[in-house]
Structure 1
Amino acid sequence: MTRPPEDLLDSTRRALLHRLAVGQSEGRAPSLVGAVVRDGQPVWSGSRSMIDDHAPDDNVQYRIGSITKSFTAVQVMRLRDEGALSLTDPLERHLPGTRVGRLTVAQLLAHTSGLASETPGPWWERTPATLRPELADVLGEQPVRHPAGSRHHYSNPGYALLGALVEQLRGEPWSEVLRREVLEPLGMARTAPLPQPPHAGGFAVHPWADVMLPEPLEDTGVMAPAGQLWSTAADLCRWAAFLSGDDGKVLAPGTLAEMRRPATEPDGDEWTAAYGLGLQLRRQDGRVLYGHTGSMPGFVAALWVSEADGLAAVVLANATSTVPVATIAADLIRIVAEREPRFPEPWRPLPEADPELLALTGPWYWGPSALVLRLRADRELDLSPVGGTGRGSRFRAEADGTWTGLDGYYAGEVLRVVRDGDGAVSHLDIGSFVLTRGPYQPAAPVPGGVDPAGWQPS
Structure 2
Amino acid sequence: MTTPQDDLLPATRRALLHHIAVAQTEGRAPSLVAAVVRGGETVWNGARTSVDGHGPDENVQYRIGSITKTFTAVLVLRLRDDGVLDLCDPLEKHLPGTGAGEATIAELLAHTGGLAAESPAPWWERTPGSLRPELSDVLGEQPFRHPVGRRHHYSNPGYTLLGALVEELRGAPWEEVLRREVLEPLGLHRTSGRPQAPHAGGWAVHPWADVMMPEPAQDLGRMAPAGQLWSTTADLARFAAFLAQGDDRVLSAESVREMRTPAAPPEAAELAAGGAYGLGMQILHRDGHMLVGHSGSLPGFLAGLVIGVEDDVAAVVLSNCTSGPPALTVAADLVRIVAEAEPRIPEPWRPMIEVDSSVLELVGQWYWGTQAFGLRLTAGGDVTLEPLSGVGRRARFRANGDGTWTGLDGYYAGELLRAVRRPGRSVSHLDLGSFVFTRQPYDEGAPVPGGVDPEGWRGIQ
Q: What fraction of aligned residue pairs are identical, expressed as a percent?
A: 65
Contact 1:205 1:213 in 2 (8 A): yes
Report the counterpart of residue 55 of structure 1 in structure 2: 55
Aligned: 1:142 with 2:136: no
Report the counterpart of residue 166 of structure 1 in structure 2: 166
Structure 1, unpaired ranges of 5+: none
Tell me how far apart the structure 2 counterparts of residues 143 and 360 of structure 1 sit (CA, whole Å): 54
- AA aligned to 1:426 is S
Report the counterpart of residue 304 of structure 1 in structure 2: 306
SS of the aligned residue for 1:116 comes to coil
Matches within 5 A, 1:126-205: 126-205=126-205
Deviations 1:44-95 (A, max 9, x none): 0100015899530000000000000000001001101111111111111111
Tell me how far apart the structure 1 counterparts of residues 131 and 265 of structure 2 sit (CA, whole Å): 38
Report the counterpart of residue 321 of structure 1 in structure 2: 323
Tell me how far apart the structure 2 counterparts of residues 419 and 127 of structure 1 sit (CA, whole Å): 68
Per the normalisation by structure 2, the TM-score is: 0.96
Deviations 1:237-275 (A, max 9, x none): 001000001132211111111111111234698651111
Contact 1:29 1:50 in 2 (8 A): no
- AA aligned to 2:430 is L
Report how many residues are paired: 456
- AA aligned to 1:58 is E
Tell me how far apart the structure 2 counterparts of residues 422 and 316 of structure 1 sit (CA, whole Å): 65
1:337 aligned to which of 323, 336, 339 = 339
- AA aligned to 1:202 is G
1:143 is displaced (CA, Å) by: 1.2
Distance 1:151 1:52, change over 3 A: closer
Matches within 5 A, 1:12-411: 12-49=12-49, 54-266=54-266, 272-411=274-413
Contact 1:5 1:39 in 2 (8 A): no
1:348 is displaced (CA, Å) by: 1.3
Tell me how far apart the structure 1 counterparts of residues 5 and 407 of structure 2 sit (CA, whole Å): 33
Tell me how far apart the structure 1 counterparts of residues 275 and 312 of structure 2 sit (CA, whole Å): 20
Tell me how far apart the structure 1 counterparts of residues 372 and 235 of structure 2 sit (CA, whole Å): 48
Tell me how far apart the structure 2 counterparts of residues 52 and 258 of structure 1 sit (CA, whole Å): 40
Tell me how far apart the structure 1 counterparts of residues 308 and 80 of structure 2 sit (CA, whole Å): 26
Deviations 1:144-179 (A, max 9, x none): 111111111111011000000000000000000000
Tell me how far apart the structure 2 counterparts of residues 304 and 51 of structure 1 sit (CA, whole Å): 23
RMSD: 1.6
Tell me how far apart the structure 2 counterparts of residues 16 and 54 of structure 1 sit (CA, whole Å): 22
Tell me how far apart the structure 2 counterparts of residues 74 and 167 of structure 1 sit (CA, whole Å): 14
Tell me how far apart the structure 1 counterparts of residues 49 and 390 of structure 2 sit (CA, whole Å): 49
Structure 2, unpaired ranges of 5+: none
Deviations 1:83-132 (A, max 9, x none): 11111111111111111111111111111111111111111111111111
1:284 is displaced (CA, Å) by: 2.2
SS of the aligned residue for 1:418 comes to strand
Distance 1:282 1:73, change over 3 A: same
Distance 1:210 1:220, change over 3 A: same
Tell me how far apart the structure 2 counterparts of residues 190 and 332 of structure 1 sit (CA, whole Å): 23
Tell me how far apart the structure 2 counterparts of residues 343 and 266 of structure 1 sit (CA, whole Å): 33
Stretch moving more, 98-107 or 173-182: 98-107
1:445 is displaced (CA, Å) by: 0.4
SS of the aligned residue for 2:380 comes to helix
